[in-house]
Structure 1
Amino acid sequence: MGCCDTPGLKPIESALAEMLDAVSPCTQVLSVTLDDAIGCTLAEPIHSPMSVPPFNNSAMDGYAFRQQDCAEGAALPLVGKAFAGAPFEGPLPRGACVRIMTGAPIPQGADTVEMQENTHVEQTDQGQCITFLKATREGQNVRLAGEDISQGQRLFDSGHILRGRDIPLLASLGIAQLNVFAPLKVAIFSTGDELQHLGTPLGPGQIYDSNRYCLRAILSRLNVEVIDFGVIADDPAQLTQTFLQADQQADVVITSGGVSVGEADYTKEILEQIGEIGFWKLAIKPGKPFAFGKLANSVFFGLPGNPVSALVTLNQLAIPVMLKMAGACALKPTRLTASVCHPLRKTPGRTDFQRGIYYVNSAGEIEVTSTGSQGSGVFSAMSKANCFIILEQDRGNVAADEKVTIELFADYLN
């Protein structure tokens, strides 16, 4: 995969399809406890080992009985109690009822529960007698065994990324151990003599290294193992050594800057020598310069140097490819149609990912407004946003009240 000298810009869809075709899913499988499973990618489908609920149980505090024994105004003798963990023993005698608590098993023979608010308790010589003040229907307030999940039901496919809300479901089924794909190892580093560490005073022409912190923050939400090589000076020998070390230790290597086509840059020269890398001009804004390819042992992503460009290309291009490599199912972004509140400037030729804030107005309609200056170095506009405003490659300026497509930020961006 040599340097791409073809004139014109590569559409983002073509670039993504080409990268996805070039990588294969992970095959290394680990066994983890449920405590450590959040964010992991399942290596096999999960089927329920049991029904949920496992038995018919009460949805209310009240009284359980046979519907055929009860009519409005009827009075039934109380013959026992049923609690969660302490069920009523034996079958329910005909013409009787049982005091029952929420979650307690329905006694054998009972089929209905009436909440205690609709009953009256009277003490008689023979014991307590329950009068039912309202008409009841068979099956009311009864949760049936398996009505949530049936035994053997397929819950999750292989490739599912476990979220916080999945963990209690698996715990309720008694699943303590899971087989998951091993997390990707991702090496990152920044290059450039102008980059300074945080806390260091800036000299003339110097800036703080922010892209590496962006990468670390986002990758930490994706259950990958980050190997941070820090800031590497513009020294050919040091850069070459860092690339070789990163390639040996990681599945993926990500850098930012130094990938512009035609730029006399050590990074580009070194990559052409040690790997099969394509240096592309993409039809995307922000983020036209982008590099992708393979080193000896790893996949390489070269992001643009401007902070917003780096984040947009990471989100739209690198992360989908890494998810495939991690064995995960593709995460489809949530895209909606919204009315734009003011004009937007757009030159045809590149798909534009402008930063916006969407909301639902008083009429229940989705509207979106820009976060301001859309320069690729203006990260404050990214920080304020909650969505991308996606303007198609051939589209020009957008007038107020026109419809646009918005893409809600993924969880790892929030």
Structure 2
Amino acid sequence: MSVCEQGNLHSIEQAISTLKTLLSPIKKIQTLPLQAAHQQILACAIDARFDVPQWDNSAMDGYALRAADLQSPNNSLPLAGRIAAGDSPNQQLPLGHCMHVLTGAPIPLGADTVVAQENCSIAPKQIQFNNFKTGEHIRRRGEEIQQGQILLEAGTRLRAQEIGLIASQGYAQVEVYTPLRIGLISSGNELAQLGHPLQAGQIYDINSHSLHSLFTGLGFQVTAYTNMPDDLKQSIKCLAQASQEQDVLISSGGVSIGEEDHLKHAVSTLGELNLWQVAIQPGKPLAFGRVGHTPWIGLPGNPAAALITALIIARPALLHAQGVTDCRHQIMHIPAAFDWVKTRPRQQYLHARLVPQNNGQLHAQIHPKQSSAMLIAASWADGLVEIKPEKTVKKGDLVRFLGYSELLR
């Protein structure tokens, strides 16, 4: 067991890199119907089977013509027919005529321009064109996608837009990585189950529920185990069983350096335990190792600290193990609506909300309660403001803002 000295803080980047090394990437692949693949991670690249569009088509309701057929002063042509979306793409435009085309309809062979319907004067058999530009309002074959190009790389998370893109090529099934199986472990006699009255000295088990929602939302298969009592033999039994059933074990609480806890003793007995102090606030205590051959991550016990440590440190490592090729999250630079005058040695994450000012510009406003034990601020917030170690902030300074919309996907 390696234990850091009190003043020896590891960086957040070191913690993420170490956890990535600990967690072996998932290699199992499953084939799913496309409609069941939302939020899954693509295991094989998707190639385009054909051009999109497959033929030139009209971008709007109007009239297809050859610009060279129009003669001043009246710029009118006789109507030769009508083409709708789904009609044959091989219809020929007669010389000196126009054809009525609806949005998405194939452009008749020989036409080079579509004139919008609102720019036409329409008679039963003759159309006058009042305003147009040669070549406009035609979506060309292959304008969006060319046959053979790679649409999506392996490691892409399939959101609604990726599902639609795959559907545009007619794929009914996709190969995705089997979701990582995560076992959540809670320990402590003080934890009570929801729906049961609290006994003296008890609190409800918050972390197993918030972490379950977090990891499920990220696309993992999550199992929450019954709370382990403060008993070494029972802890060893629970951990040994969970390690046989899951790909990763994650616990919260009982990982502070120097703290006596059955969970740490059980992990040490069954495998390997490392205790780190990380330069993150809230947070700092981080444990990791193996239970048998199964990786284990021990998060802080305070609810806000557990949530932020899971988002900032555990999330990128777990997504990497799931096969995601790009685990980065978008960072916005937003003016601060607050002063932060006291420096800290650790990188801080403050619960913040984006608030429009009188000029319409968004500013980051922080919640007054930033305790590592409180989730009220996290529920109120749109995301987190990141403040680097030993830095202060004045109103109007640009701060780094990490939106929950980015972190929770």
Give the TM-score category using the shorter length.
over 0.9
- Which amino acid is 2:19 matched to? M
Structure 1 residues 359, 59: closer, same or farther in 2, change over 3 A? same
Q: Structure 2: how far apart are the matches of 1:33 and 1:57?
A: 30
Unpaired segments ≥5 residues, structure 2:
none
2:306 aligns with one of 299, 306, 310: 310
Structure 1 residues 255, 333: closer, same or farther in 2, change over 3 A? same
> Which runs of structure 1 show a deviation greater than 4 angstroms over 4 or more consecutive aligned residues?
none
Contact preservation (8 Å) 2:62, 2:115: yes
Q: Which residue of 2 aligns with 1:4?
A: 3
Q: Structure 1: how far apart are the matches of 2:79 and 2:90?
A: 14
41-50 or 246-255, larger mean C-alpha shift: 41-50
- Which amino acid is 1:295 matched to? V
Shift of 1:89: 5.6
Determine whether 1:266 maps to 2:265: no
Q: Which residue of 2 aligns with 1:58?
A: 58
- Aligned-residue identity in percent: 35
Structure 1 residues 177, 71: closer, same or farther in 2, change over 3 A? farther
Q: Which residue of 1 aligns with 2:378?
A: 382
Q: Which residue of 2 aligns with 1:150?
A: 146
Q: Which residue of 2 aligns with 1:406?
A: 401
Shift of 1:303: 0.6
Determine whether 1:218 maps to 2:217: no
Q: Which residue of 1 aligns with 2:117?
A: 116
Determine whether 1:191 maps to 2:187: yes
Structure 1 residues 146, 88: closer, same or farther in 2, change over 3 A? closer
Q: Structure 2: how far apart are the matches of 1:371 and 1:379?
A: 11
2:282 aligns with one of 280, 286, 310: 286
SS in 2 for 1:179: strand
Q: Which residue of 2 aligns with 1:350?
A: 346
2:165 aligns with one of 164, 169, 193: 169
Structure 1 residues 67, 246: closer, same or farther in 2, change over 3 A? same
1:334 aligns with one of 304, 313, 330: 330
TM-score, structure 2 as length reference: 0.95
Contact preservation (8 Å) 1:84, 1:105: yes
Shift of 1:57: 0.5
Shift of 1:227: 1.5
69-78 or 137-146, larger mean C-alpha shift: 69-78
SS in 2 for 1:231: coil
Q: Structure 2: how far apart are the matches of 1:200 and 1:407?
A: 36
Q: Which residue of 1 aligns with 2:93?
A: 92
Contact preservation (8 Å) 2:4, 2:277: no
Q: Which residue of 1 aligns with 2:243?
A: 247
Determine whether 1:15 maps to 2:15: yes
Deviations 1:331-369 (A, max 9, x none): 212212222222225442111111111234343544111
2:365 aligns with one of 365, 369, 378: 369
Q: Which residue of 2 aligns with 1:130?
A: 127
Unpaired segments ≥5 residues, structure 1:
none
SS in 1 for 2:186: strand
May I ask how many residue pairs the two structures share in their alignment? 407
SS in 2 for 1:19: helix
- Which amino acid is 1:82 matched to? I
Q: Structure 1: how far apart are the matches of 2:64 and 2:12?
A: 62
